[in-house]
Copies of this chain bind each other. A is one copy, B any other.
């Protein structure tokens, strides 16, 4: 039985061991027990590795484990497992409900991050969710806003109820290609799709990033851009997919 009083769980546990705890917790919850073979299967690891890990977990008093017997978490182990799982749930929900990722991708991303989410960040995430719970229109509005989501299906543009979006669509936006050599701007929106979009993002061209058109090639086609200290060359067509706000 668990109380709300704090208990002493070993603080520095590796993400690998945390994964084992998580797996064991889920198996026990699903079928009442966990066995080496199943843990190995779930973690996509050989049974030998599980065996070793279990010994380490037992030494840390996180798992109760008689050789060749069924495996159970100790109170501490259960607490640690629940903590990781809660982070997993939280992050999955964020990637799925807020960022609108498909369920499996969201869960995978959560898996990779659940071990490094600090208590403080966790708390902030929760507050954010509490806020969204009180004001559900916020995310609903994001979901509908074709400006931001709906990567390829700009078709759904009609049913946006985001006032600023509507306003925005009227404002004449300029693109990176509209700058003249030496002029500066700030990235507002990357309209490129697929690989080009990913390339531009990777290079550092995030929203709100300062950007400069250094010079244009002969005939104005390769545009030489400066962004985050790096220089790169873009085709004019590519540059015009980057919506910016000009700086003086």
Decide: A207 near B130, CB < 8 A? Known: A108-B118, A232-B1.
yes
CB of A103 closer than 8 Å to a CB of B: no
Residues on B with C-beta less than 8 A from A188 are 130, 133-134
Write the nearest CB–CB distance from A77 to chain B, whole angstroms. 13
CA–CA, A198 and B45, complex, Å: 33
What is the CB-to-nearest-CB distance from A122 to chain B, in angstroms, rounded to a whole number?
6
- Beyond A86-B203, A142-B128, A162-B135, whether A197 also contacts B123 by CB under 8 A is yes
B133 touches A145 (CB 8 A): no
User: For the complex formed by this chain, how many copies does it contain in all?
Assistant: 2
A175-207 at interface with B (beta carbon < 8 Å): 188-190, 195-204, 206-207
| A: contact size bracket | 35 or more
Which stretch in A16-24, A51-59, A60-68, A233-241 binds the other chain?
A233-241
Contact across chains for A207 and B148 when beta carbons are under 8 A apart: no
Report the 5 A-B pairs with minimum CB-CB distance, sorted nearest first: A131-B148, A112-B116, A99-B124, A135-B164, A2-B232
A-B contact pairs, 10 of them (CB 8 A): A2-B232, A93-B208, A95-B124, A99-B128, A105-B118, A105-B121, A131-B148, A133-B207, A133-B208, A138-B141
